Amino acid sequence: MTLAMKPFFERQIRKPLPGALADDAGLYIAMRELEGLKPTSLYEYHRELDRLATMFPEKTAADFTVGDIQTYLARRTMMPDPETGKRLSQNSRRKVILVLNSFFRWAVMSGRCPAGNPMLTIKPPSFKFREPTAWTPEEMDRILQAPAKQPRDALLLHVLAYCGQRVGATARLQWKHVHGLGTRDCVIRFPPSKGDELHTVPVMKRELHEKIVLMRELTQPQPEDWLFASRQGGYLDLNQITRIVEHACRWAQVSKPWTAHQFRRSLITNLLEAGQELTVVSKVVANHKSPQTTMLHYRSVPGATAKAAFSATPW
């Protein structure tokens, strides 16, 4: 892979898969890695295929039937988890089915399942979209004023708030991704995340620019150094980022959820509420491949826009 992989994911993904499915599943995982699938997704694919191979140790991809898949899904998704005593959520069940469907679709296309895809008649549960939530501009101001334990944490909050990129891409920022620091043309080139491409975001806010400059002066970094380095080496993981965000949100007394993704959701939603063009927000800020994706996840319509629409009734 072109991106550095966390040691945990590296260990898990490199574990040999069990049973007769090992060769087919191992090749599939390697192929997805070459395609650039992010480490967290590779881990999920590896974990699910490991469980399938453990339940049916004698079966290769060609041996699976619809009945085998139905048996696996019944035990995997409908029975309570032995450790937690809870059943998988609807979204988790959907993810399990999508992983298996992707694997067997590849197996059919590569000639490993001559009898066809055993997943064809199995449909994932419908996805229930929740109405999007967002912090108000006042809440965002309070979060950014929260006292940080160190300059790195303050910079992280400002990058999340003013750039609105996915937390995975933000966490993997290196100093080589910051260009034109100290000039009006300063930009941050975020690495790919969730299947999208490298995305360039201009640094327009003085507060953000100043914090990047301060961080550079304090750390004197090399181009390959992480912008948000962990004390253990490497970049901050999601748990560490969540703790930083929760600390600031608790101090600011803002509405939940207290997650890093809420910064992205809030920036996009507030830009749309302010009347910014949907196609511009979708492409330039959200880095979505289609404005339909933005509409699907950020369905908030500005009140002024709604009033204008109803005021235009021609009778």
Mean pLDDT for 35-41 is: 82
- What residue ranges define each of the domains in the chain, with the CATH number in brackets? 7-109 (no CATH), 137-301 (1.10.443.10)
Angstrom distance (rounded) from CA 144 to CA 211: 12
Mean pLDDT for 98-119 is: 93
Which residues have CB under 8 Å from 95's CB, separation 6+?
A: 44
The pLDDT, as a whole number, for residue 247 is 97
The pLDDT, as a whole number, for residue 276 is 87
Residues for the chain: how many in total? 315
Q: Return the H-helix or E-strand segment holding 23.
A: helix 22-34
Strand partners, 229: 235
The pLDDT, as a whole number, for residue 81 is 66
Confidence of residue 49 (pLDDT cuts 50, 70, 90): very high
Q: Is 188 helix (H, G, I), strand (E, B) or coil?
A: strand
Residue 50 predicted with pLDDT over 90: yes
The pLDDT, as a whole number, for residue 2 is 38
Q: Is 235 helix (H, G, I), strand (E, B) or coil?
A: strand
Region of residue 45 (left: phi > 0; alpha: psi -120 to 50; beta: else): alpha
The pLDDT, as a whole number, for residue 3 is 44
Q: CB neighbours (10 Å) of residue 205?
A: 13
Residue 37 predicted with pLDDT over 90: no
Residue 299 predicted with pLDDT over 80: no
The pLDDT, as a whole number, for residue 133 is 86
Nearest by Cα to 193 from 37, 75, 88: 37
The pLDDT, as a whole number, for residue 90 is 79
**pTM of model > 0.85:** no
Q: Which residue has the tokens 């975020």?
A: 190
Angstrom distance (rounded) from CA 43 to CA 97: 16
- Averaged confidence pLDDT in the chain: 88
Residue 314 predicted with pLDDT over 80: no
Q: What is the largest CA-CA distance in the chain?
A: 71
Q: CB neighbours (10 Å) of residue 302?
A: 13
Mean pLDDT for 38-43 is: 84
Angstrom distance (rounded) from CA 86 to CA 102: 26
Tokens of 100: 């298996």
Residue 303 identity: G
The pLDDT, as a whole number, for residue 204 is 93
Residue 51 predicted with pLDDT over 70: yes
Which of 1-10, 82-91, 119-128, 219-228 bottoms out in mean pLDDT, i.e. has the lowest? 1-10
**Alpha carbon of 265 to those of 207, 224, 254, 262, 279: distances in Å?**
21, 29, 15, 5, 16
Burial bucket for residue 206 (CB in 10 Å: 0-12, 13-18, 19+): exposed
pLDDT digits (tens, 9 = 90+) for 224-265: 999 999 998 899 999 999 999 999 999 999 999 999 999 999
Mean pLDDT for 2-10 is: 62
Mean pLDDT for 2-13 is: 67
Angstrom distance (rounded) from CA 216 to CA 222: 10
C-alpha of 229 from chain center: 19
Phi, psi at 174, each rounded to 5°: -115, 165
